[in-house]
Structure 1
Amino acid sequence: MMHCIGYIKFGNTYPIKMKNGGQKEMVSFTVVDGFGTNYSFQMWPDDPQHAEVAAIIKDARRQPVQVDVASHVARLRKFQDGSEKPQTNFTATNVQFLSGSITPRVWCSGTVQYGGAYEVGGKDRSKKIMLSFSVADEIANSYAFQMWPDDPQHSWLAPLIAQARRQPIEVDVASYVARLRKFKDGTEKPQTNFVATNVVFPGLSQSEQSA
């Protein structure tokens, strides 16, 4: 599962019209992590904490919080000027309001589905080796991770990642971006890519990880 520790930037509740004509109250709030990255969270009435969080979220600005991610979805958001941009929304669960000083962090624990190292071209026509791997959590979410050569672990992880299928993994999120991915059939769909750092394989010994 993905977990987020940070500070609430703002939050509120909003009535949302449903396709069946009904209405639901959505709790919406943004959490900022230690890298200054914003995470847009939503909580729906089917979550056991909905009523509790709805009652206090408006007054929770700047409060330290820990939130688990139940799911995430990338979608095209339409702005008032008519433009559309990809945006990632995270569904919140297990919200804990913390006290005292915290160390903001976003991390994911799960199992490597697949991974590899790929040569990609930069805008400056340079070639870089991008490490790409997918992590599945215990509630069937899948997270697409990338690691770039500027990360200190890049040279260590590059020879390991292709052999890491089905290995338990814990990985910190340095940042993320929602973008339109173009598929072979010409269609485009929003996708979220997470930038990985501080990768640990709990199932491997220190010698196996450094081999």
Structure 2
Amino acid sequence: MTTHLLSRRSAPARPELQLHSGLTLALARVHEACGAARRSFALWLASRTQGPVLWIAPAWQADMLNPDGVFAFIDPARLLFVSPTRAEDLLWAAEESLRAGAVALVVADLPGAPGLTAVRRMHLAAETGAAEGARTPLGLLLTPGDGGAQGIETRWHMAPAHTGSVPRWRLARRRARSQPPQDWIVTRPCATDADDHPGWSVTPTTD
């Protein structure tokens, strides 16, 4: 017995984390952010989630997050830091954290882009976390330079474009499985309270 194509049910829509209208990241998947402001991008994502955020970074990394800078995005108390002393433990920690499904966002601040096998394992772990854990996790890999992790769901590049005292960035979606490349100018109005952030302004560029 065969089933006509038109009678097949459509696949259920994948849950997404929405940063702004038309600017979303699929949950239960692993994404990549690169560029000088990649950590600002990660904190922007964190501001759109609830509960703890797991931040994995090597113990030998010199440029750690500054609490004053974090406060402009989220309450620093939400961050849980994992600082492996061995390079191979960075990806292991990210994979196991995604598999647990205990937090909504797992950030892995890496010294280099991981290979395809490691990323595939993290995708599978995130799917397991979504099915068996308390939350549907999103994995974000922060990589230096222009990135280059293989097999990621999307790749984002974020760089400072500040004007005066107004925080601004240029954001580029450089790779996505189901969306075209796109650039935006992102503006975050200044806030005095980490629990009272005003809305972000996101404007597509035309150049």
- TM-score interval, normalised by the smaller of the two chains: under 0.3
Structure with larger Rg: 1
Q: TM-score, normalised by structure 1?
A: 0.24
Q: TM-score, normalised by structure 2?
A: 0.24
Higher relative contact order (CA 8 A, sep 6+): 2
Answer 1 or 2: which has greater helix percent. Answer: 2
Greater per-residue strand proportion: 1
